[in-house]
């Protein structure tokens, strides 16, 4: 969840700022609309409620909705209000950080569930129960919240009480203006992503071995589907990791085109933070035939009711 810093150093004129915010908000509405359709489909159809795979996936979708809403809210606030209450800002940043760190953790949990379904099919129903799935989701949210909690503890320890009643420009590097924030961010992102990539590689190759052992039949088909699903998790993770590239692209491109600093940082934010959230539901959720079937049914019911 990265926000641009160019608004501080080189503010845009009214027309440019308005156009940027319209584009960002429009994309956010489109992404939230697609994800919202998946969420509504899930809750309207009980067939999904007993399947750990879909429960985990809809958790990822809800997380993406929250993340994109918070990220875009922070982006718009840097233009609209400039300065807001520090306590409210800390809450927004902490929620945004939690949803941001949740994404790779949830993808790892989904890969493990597919690994169990294929490599331990006889134990899948005992291991991956609905109650355990919801417990796993709560654990994943707890793990995702750890970096944000550390940030809040550090700012409480270093800042006076008056800071939380003051007004601030709501960007993480300003609110958490200490060397500990940078060090903690690098350490936690490296740790989380390393564990997630190890998990994805391990589950993928175990499923791949199972697919090779299975010579024919339904098990071979399910193993291949699970292998493709885990590959998609890796693709989603790569898309999510584009947000880590944002500061690097800014540092590389801005010195060559200093007159276009605001345009460069805006397009970097759009391409590395917003667009991946649009592609994620399209390459995963809408390729699932069960989801697509129930979405079409729901859309058909809406059309019929409208016609009546």
Of 118-122, 135-139, 213-217, give the range with the top mean pLDDT.
135-139
Tell which phi-psi region holds residue 89, choosing left (phi > 0), alpha (psi between -120 and 50) or beta: alpha
> Is residue 1 a part of any domain in this protein?
no
Both tokens of residue 21?
């915010």
Look at 60-69, 145-154, 186-195 and tell me which has the smallest mean pLDDT: 186-195
Task: Report the CATH number at residue 229.
Answer: 1.20.1070.10
Percent of residues in the chain assigned helix, strand, coil, to nearest 5 = 85, 0, 10
The answer to whether 73 and 152 have CB atoms below 8 angstroms apart is no
Name all contacts of 248-252 with Cβ < 8 Å and 24+ positions apart.
Answer: none
Between 247 and 20, the more confident residue is 20
Q: What is the CA radius of gyration of the chain?
A: 21
* pLDDT of 296 above 60: yes
> In the prediction, which pLDDT does 243 show?
65
Q: Grade residue 250 by pLDDT with cuts at 50, 70 and 90.
A: low
Q: Is 84 helix (H, G, I), strand (E, B) or coil?
A: strand
| Residue 145 to residues 58, 68, 152, Cα–Cα distance (Å) | 19, 17, 11
Decide if 303 is inside a domain: yes
Question: What is the per-residue pLDDT for 237?
Answer: 66
- Rounded Cα–Cα distance for residues 251 and 256 (Å): 9
Phi and psi at residue 85, to the nearest 5°: -60, 135
291, part of any domain: yes
- Residue 251's nearest CA partner among 263, 241, 261, 243 is 261
Residue position matching structure tokens 């500990």: 180
Pairwise pLDDT comparison (12 vs 16), residue with the higher score: 16
Q: In sequence order, what are the residues at sequence separation of 6 or more whose Cβ sits closer than 8 angstroms to the Cβ of residue 47? A: 290, 294
The pLDDT of residue 201 is above 60: yes
**pLDDT for the residue 136:** 93
Residue bearing the bigger pLDDT, 131 or 75: 131
pLDDT of 132 = 93
> In this structure, how many other beta carbons lie within 10 angstroms of the beta carbon of residue 277?
24
Band the pLDDT of 302: cuts 50, 70, 90.
Answer: very low
Give yes or no for a contact between 118 and 222, defined as CB atoms under 8 angstroms apart. Answer: yes
pLDDT score for 134: 94
Question: Which pairs count as long-range contacts for 201-205, CB under 8 Å and 24+ apart, including other chains?
Answer: 202/115, 203/111, 203/112, 203/114, 203/115, 203/230, 204/111, 204/230, 204/231, 204/234
Query: Per the structure block, which two tokens stand in for 20?
Result: 């940027």
User: 262 versus 128: which is more confidently predicted?
Assistant: 128
Q: Is residue 248 pLDDT above 80, yes or no?
A: no
What residue numbers bound the domain in which 123 lies?
6-307
Q: How confident is the model at residue 131 (pLDDT cuts 50, 70, 90)?
A: very high
Check the CA dihedral 65-66-68-73 and report its sign: positive
pLDDT at 221: 65
Across the range 90-104, mean pLDDT stands at 90
Q: What is the pLDDT of residues 254-294, one digit of tens each?
A: 777 777 777 777 887 888 778 877 777 776 666 777 878 88
Model pLDDT, residue 303: 41
Q: How many domains in the chain?
A: 1
Average pLDDT value for residue range 147-168 = 88
In-domain check, residue 259:
yes
Strands (E), the chain: 83-85, 167-169
Considering the domain boundaries, does residue 89 fall inside one? yes
Please check the confidence at residue 190 and state whether its pLDDT lies above 80: yes
Contact 5, 173 (CB under 8 A): yes
212, 280, 294: which is closest to 34 by C-alpha? 280
Q: Using 50, 70 and 90 to split pLDDT, how confident is the model at 5? A: very low
CA 188 to chain centre: 16
Strands 83-85 and 167-169: antiparallel
Q: What is the pTM of this model?
A: 0.83
Q: Is 296 among the domain residues? A: yes
Confirm whether 221 is domain-assigned. Answer: yes
Among 108-122, 137-151, 226-240, the least confident range: 226-240
How much of the chain, in percent, has pLDDT values that exceed 70?
79
């Amino acid at each position: 969840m990265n926000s641009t810093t160019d608004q501080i150093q080189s503010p845009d004129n009214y027309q440019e700022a308005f156009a940027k915010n319209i584009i960002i908000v429009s994309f956010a509405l489109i992404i939230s609309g697609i994800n919202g359709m998946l969420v509504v489909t899930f809750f309207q159809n009980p067939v999904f409620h007993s399947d750990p795979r879909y429960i985990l996936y809809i958790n990822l979708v809800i997380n993406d909705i929250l993340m994109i809403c918070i990220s875009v809210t922070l982006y718009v606030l840097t233009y609209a209000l400039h300065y807001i209450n520090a306590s409210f800002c800390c809450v927004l940043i902490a929620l945004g950080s939690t949803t941001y760190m949740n994404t790779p953790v949830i993808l790892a949990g989904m890969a493990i569930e597919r690994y169990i379904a294929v490599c331990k099919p006889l134990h899948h129903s005992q291991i991956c129960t609905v109650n355990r799935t919801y417990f796993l989701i709560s654990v994943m949210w707890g793990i995702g919240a750890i970096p944000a909690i550390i940030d809040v503890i550090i700012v409480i320890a270093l800042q006076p009480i008056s800071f939380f009643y003051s007004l601030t420009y709501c960007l993480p590097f300003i609110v958490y203006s200490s060397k500990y924030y940078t060090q903690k961010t690098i350490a936690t992102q490296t740790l989380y992503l390393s564990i997630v990539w190890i998990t994805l590689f391990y589950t993928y190759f175990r499923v791949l071995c199972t697919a090779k052992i299975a010579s024919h039949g339904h098990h071979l088909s399910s193993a291949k589907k699970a292998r493709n699903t885990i590959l998609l998790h890796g693709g989603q993770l790569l898309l999510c990791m584009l947000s880590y590239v944002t500061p690097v692209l800014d540092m590389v491109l801005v010195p060559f085109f200093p007159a276009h600093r605001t345009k460069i940082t805006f397009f970097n934010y759009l391409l590395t933070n917003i667009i991946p959230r649009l592609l994620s539901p399209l390459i995963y959720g809408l390729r699932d035939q069960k989801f697509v079937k129930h979405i079409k049914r729901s859309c058909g019911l809406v059309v019929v009711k409208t016609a009546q």
